[in-house]
Structure 1
Amino acid sequence: MNRTPWRRRREPLDHVESAALLPAPGDPVLSRDRLTTLEEHLMNEIRQAQDRKSTGAQPQTVALFPPSSPEPPRRTGSRRLALIGAAAAVAVLAGTIGVAQLTGQKAVEAAGPPEGSVPASVVQVAQGTTEGLSSTVDRISVAAVKEKLPEPRPGQFIYIKSQVSWLTMSENVDTGKSETYVQKLHGRQVWLSPDGRRGWLIEPGNGTTSRDGLTLDDEGEALEPSIGSPSYDYLKTLTTDPDELLKKIYEETEGQGNGPDQQAFTTIGDLVMEQVMPAELTSALYRAAAKIPGVVVVDDTTDAVGRHGIAIARTDETGGARTEWIFDPKTFSYLGERTVQMRDMEGVEAGTVTGHTAITERAVVDAMKELPGAKGKV
């Protein structure tokens, strides 16, 4: 079963039966679409775990993520098998299958350090301020308008290349001691059609795909696009008035995430991270974000590849994680996103960087799996 990063679909009948393998869910911290993406990936890992059990393979822990995000991404239909924000872990313990979902804090049980992971870094966190927020967002919004890409035509594809890393945790079920890890930084490439019906994802570094990748094509009847599961064609129909746009986001995300303000911020972050949209809309989204209570400016932070920047950020009051949208301090162009824990929370130390992304290329290409400036395909 495949999903586009941005579109909800009806689930197949066997999904209901497979869901019995999962424990009863708690109150989700992630958006509905991110949880759906993670659940789908978890079910895939459970099936693989059963295969390993039948062949006598050794237990292992597998890390997943949403994105922003997007969605996980995201951050909603967000993004994508992506991005975004929290991760999940699947553990195979002593011949039994244990599923542990992270909501940005702690896994219930795990089987040692996840393969391909490294200890999470703990950084000195700069405090944010509302001073200068308006002028900073003005500069970012003006820069967004100047960064216009060609509008994708039918048959073309939006291409996003990034470097990403997400949180996973390991807990010794005998001692209760947990350790925090992040995935090794790895590449991610996504192709999306303007109508959202077709797509391709390559991300072998996360265990999400093979080196060839996997299809994100729509299978069956597509649902109506929305703020949470948009396409380029849908996004270009939206208003560019920041107040009206923010009102629409609040209305469409009502009841999701950790409160309306946090979910609105997450939704906007998911949109701007792994998507191409009309430049005027991107500008309006930044101006809308500045109107959300709790949004601050952070003077210095770094993206996943070490580029320093200024950030627009907000801390989730429930989980204590601060999401930072990072911009070049001179050009104010978008660089990436960082999530850092602002207070100790169920085994995650304050200052722990739990998510890191860096967008390294955005383009419009003529064919699926085509690279910008290249005649061939990956």
Structure 2
Amino acid sequence: MKPTPRFTQPDPVELARLLPAPGDPELPRNRHRQLEDAVMAHIQQLHSAAGPDPADAPRPARRRLRRPVLIGIPVALALAGVAVVALNTAGGPAGPGEPAPVAAPVVNIQAGSDLTLASTVEHIAEAADRDALPAPCPNQFIYVKSKVSYTTTYVNGDTNSSHTWVQPLHAREVWLSPDGRKGWLDEPGYQPEEGITLDSDVTRDSYNETKSLPTDPAALLKKIYARTNGESDRDQQAFATIGDIVGEQLVPARTAAALYRAAAKIPGVVVVTHSQDAAGRDGIALARLDPQTGQRIEWIFDRDTFAYLGSRGLQVAPGHDAEPGTVTERTAILQRTVVDEEKERPASPGRAS
């Protein structure tokens, strides 16, 4: 790929000309969160480099339960109004201080089936209902350590072409208060050196809110559907909402079991007998294909214990400059427990799910 020159303070008119024609303007809910967090982290880095302005009060980052994502350079420019482009000859484009992205892995696509959906979900729900993780006290924090990799798309303005890369697998740690009002994220290479605050008045999907959800699967699913909107496929939004909750949060055992049983009622959910998380662990997955993006999201479970391992995004149909079989995201939960203080790391290995 032809190296892109480094530049600053681009002309907005010229930048607009270089951008490809816009696609579907509607973004999934979690993508909105990802873009907001990535831009706010970038702005905080720029602010720190320029030095504090005494007239400015500190402004915390917006809370989200999903991870931030590396944004393709033109998107970042359009949102943040700043341009710094770098190209590593060993990999893809990287922002300042970020590890260079690498080529996305491509795997064989295994067809999903709903033939064993009911029995598989029942095994998963029963395992979740037996979970013995402690309930956090109001002044404690939920700690989740994971290994993750997400997609970034690089757009070459010279050739009007784009290419999909992924972040190298890297560590991610979050601390969340039970009420969802306080939190911290440490993701070296993708956030400021000391991490970034997740403090917020937005408490959706917090432990306390999740604990109050119905444990009857039908009632729970009705409540989840009430949160959907017309921006994308309603069933996919419901599936993504459940995935957001179980992916990076501590969920009470009965609620977790109800969430999986509710997911089985969503049209299009299937079982994939082999999937692999970011730690390389092979498991069985509950999955659903997003009809708008052609991407299948897979929740991966240990095939013996049925404990949650992580997730995988797999491009099944052509789309977003990724060929079928491209692994667009990978996560693996390495540790999930309760600690007494924000930024405290547990002394013992704890539970991985």
TM-score, structure 1 length as denominator?
A: 0.74
**How far off its partner does 1:164 sit?**
0.3
Correspondent of 2:169 among 167, 179, 185: 185
Is the Cα–Cα contact under 8 Å of residues 336 and 357 in structure 1 kept in the other structure?
yes
Question: 1:312-348 CA distances to partner (integer Å, 9 max, x unpaired)?
Answer: 0000001100000000011100000000100111421
Matched, 1:99 2:74: no
CA contact (8 A) 1:201 1:214 kept: yes
Match among 28, 32, 35 for residue 35 of structure 1: 32
Letter in 2 for 1:172: N
2:47 and 2:186 map into 1 onto residues whose CA distance is 25
Cα separation, 2, equivalents of 1:333 and 1:215: 29
Q: Residue 89 of structure 1 aligns with which residue?
A: 72
> Is 1:174 aligned to 2:158, yes or no?
yes
Query: Secondary structure in 2 aligned to 1:277?
Result: coil
Equivalent-residue separation in structure 1 for 2:122 and 2:216 (angstroms) = 14
SS at 1:88's partner residue? coil
Query: Match of 1:336, SS?
Result: strand
Q: Equivalent residue of 1:252, what SS?
A: coil
The residue type equivalent to 1:38 in the other structure is: L
Structure 2 counterparts to residues 267-278 of structure 1, below 5 A: 267-278=241-252
Task: Using the TM superposition, give the Cα deviation of residue 50 of structure 1 relative to its aligned residue in structure 2, in angstroms.
Answer: 10
1:118 corresponds to which residue? 102
Give the Å deviation of 1:253. 1.9
1:238-259 CA-to-partner distances (Å, cap 9, x unmatched) read 1100000000000122334x21
Query: Runs of 5+ in structure 2 lacking a partner?
Result: 1-14, 51-61, 349-353
SS at match of 1:204: coil
**Other-structure match for 1:316:** 290
**Alpha-carbon shift at residue 204 of structure 1 (Å):** 1.1
Of the candidates 195, 199, 205, which is equivalent to residue 183 of structure 2? 199
Query: Secondary structure in 1 aligned to 2:77?
Result: strand
What SS does structure 1 have at the residue aligned with 2:32?
Answer: helix
How many equivalent pairs are there? 306
CA-CA distance at 1:45 after TM superposition: 3.0
The 8 Å contact of residues 303 and 335 in structure 1, kept in 2 or not, is answered as: yes
1:154 Cα deviation from its structure 2 partner? 1.4
Following TM superposition, by how much is the alpha carbon of 1:153 offset from its aligned partner in structure 2, in angstroms?
0.4
Partner of 1:157: 141
Give the TM-score, by structure 2 length.
Answer: 0.79
DSSP-derived class of the 2:72 partner: strand
Q: Percent identity?
A: 48
What is the CA distance between 1:99 and its match in structure 2?
A: 3.2
Q: Which amino acid aligns with 1:339?
A: G
Aligned to 1:213: 195
* Paired position in structure 2 for 1:237: 212
Is 1:352 aligned to residue 331 of structure 2? no
Q: Secondary structure at the match of 2:303?
A: coil
* Deviation at residue 41 of structure 1 after TM alignment: 2.5
1:98 partner SS: helix
CA-to-aligned-CA distance 1:100-120 (integer Å, 9 cap, x gap)? 89xxxxxxxx86522221110
Q: Alignment partner for residue 265 of structure 2, among 291, 307, 326?
A: 291
Structure 1 residues without counterparts, runs of 5 or longer: 1-20, 55-71, 102-109
Contact 1:114-1:168 at 8 Å conserved across structures: no
SS at match of 1:127: coil
Counterpart pick for 2:224 among 249, 256, 262: 249
Partner of 1:79: 65
After TM superposition, give the deviation of residue 236 of structure 1 in Å: 1.1
Q: CA deviation at 1:366?
A: 1.0
> Aligned match of 2:280 in 279, 287, 306?
306
Give the deviation of 1:47 after TM superposition: 7.6
